[in-house]
Structures are given as C-alpha cells and as structure tokens.
Amino acid sequence: MLAMRAYEMMVICDGDLEESAVAGVINQATAQIESAGGTVAKTDKWGRRRFAYEINHKTEGFYVVFEIEAEPGALDDVDRNLRLADDVVRHKIIRLPAAVSWGPRPRPKPPGDQEDTMDNTVTLVGNVTRDPEIRYTPSGQTVATFGLAVNRRWQNRQNNEWEEQTSFFDVKCWSQMAENVAESVQKGTRVIVTGRLEQRSWETDSGDKRSKVEVVADEVAPSLRWATATVNRIERSQAGSGGGAPSGGGRPVANEPSPYDNEEPF
C-alpha cells in the first residue's frame, strides 16, 4: 500500500451556473475522490470571481478548493473527468510537500498555558537587498518575498576600534500587504519590519530534507531616519479586491544613508 499524500485541487466552475449546479459538481468530484480511495479533508467555496483574462468567452467563474489526501496516482481519473466536464472551466491539482498533512489540527492551548508565554516577535531595521518578488499560491493567495540586510555596529573595548557585522534575512509578506510592498519597496530602500520568525521545512525531489527560517511580516514601513516618504491610502474596497498592485505614485527613491504563456488565472 502506497503512503497517502496531501493534495490541493482548485476547480473553477462556469460562472453562469446556479448554486445547486455548483454543488452537484462538488458532490460528484468528492464521490470520485472517495471511490479512488482518497479523502476530502475540507472543501472551500470561494464564490464567483472575475478572471484575469477571458477564458472560453467567460469573464468569471465559481472557485472551489479541495484539501485531499490520496495515494499517488489515485486522482488520475478525477483529473481526466474534470477535463471532460462541460461545467468546469479550469482545474488544477497540486501535490504538496511530503511534510504537509490535512490531518486533524492540534487543539488550541488553554489561556495561561506556560508555552503561550514564549514569543518570537522580531523588529528589524535594514536595507532591502533585492526587489520584492511577487507570486501567487495555487489557492490564489498573494505572497511577496524580499531580502533584508541588518547592520550591527559596536566599539571593541579592547582596541577601541569600531566593528561591524551584517546579518541577512528573508522576509515574506501576504495578501494586500504583499501587493503594497511590491509597489512601494525596491532594492536599497531602508525599511522597518515587524513580524515573527517561522521555520519552513521541505523535502527535495531527491529526498534531501531542507529547512529555512524566514520573517513573516506583520508590518513593513519606510525608515524616516535619513529619508522622507509619502503615504497613499488604499481604499478598503480596492484593498479587498485582491487583484493587481495598488494605484498611486511611482516608487520612492531608495531610502539609503550612503551610496550603496499562458498562465492559468489561479
């Protein structure tokens, strides 16, 4: 018996379908998954959303995301049937890393538990080492990543000489903040980042295990120690649309004290 793997499947139904017809597509897909020996841990109905571009003369679709556990190859028939379904505009099945499981989530610890007192919140001030790279997860979430160099300078008490050390961090931003960071920040910008440390582990195709510690940002702001900045407020309706970077002026001048083919609409 093969080991169960975690999958994420997004199905985009015809936007003209009634809710009952979409429910029929969901029930049929769930039945096919279970008949193949898999289990559906969760079904997320995202509702109707506009496409980034027209598909089969359609401008919107009804998005549904399935969290699945199945043996490798068990979803081949599901994939084939979805390709032939008239009511399905697009679909995509993603096999997640081996470390991911859709099993039961750990129960929250009661308030006052001793482990709850531990805090990994960090605040960093430094210079951006590379332009933010914006990507989209299979479920449609926006994520932006950039590098941050943090300098520490101190005086050696033994020889009274100044010494300097530079630490490098990878910073990750999600959702609307990711869009705003990609629009506002560039290499050389001096920023303040507040967030938490998070370790990410994965397994390569060759079976090697890798891990990496990143800063997941809660807030990103320009440092005004050696620069000025103009803030353009994003309207709530625009911020919640999830499409495209916000409008506003061009990118600011680097905040530096010294010289230094067809993508599917997921």
Three-state DSSP class for 118?
A: coil
CA 31/CA 33 separation, integer angstroms: 5
CA 12/CA 65 separation, integer angstroms: 9
Phi first, then psi: give them for residue 4, nearest 5 degrees.
-75, 140
The residues that bridge with 172 in the sheet, in sequence order, are 145, 216
Sequence spans of domains, the chain: 5-95, 115-239
Give, in words, the CATH class of 115-239: mainly beta
The pLDDT of residue 9: 92
Q: How confident is the model at residue 210 (pLDDT cuts 50, 70, 90)?
A: confident
The pLDDT of residue 230: 85
CATH number of 5-95: 3.30.70.60
- Asked if residue 84 has pLDDT above 50, the reply is yes
Pairing of strands 162-174, 209-222: parallel
- Asked if residue 106 has pLDDT above 80, the reply is no
Q: Which residues contact 233 (CB under 8 A, 6 or more apart)?
A: none
CA 194/CA 249 separation, integer angstroms: 25
- Asked if residue 68 has pLDDT above 60, the reply is yes
Q: How confident is the model at residue 119 (pLDDT cuts 50, 70, 90)?
A: low
Q: C-alpha 160: how far from its chain's center?
A: 46
Predicted model pTM = 0.46
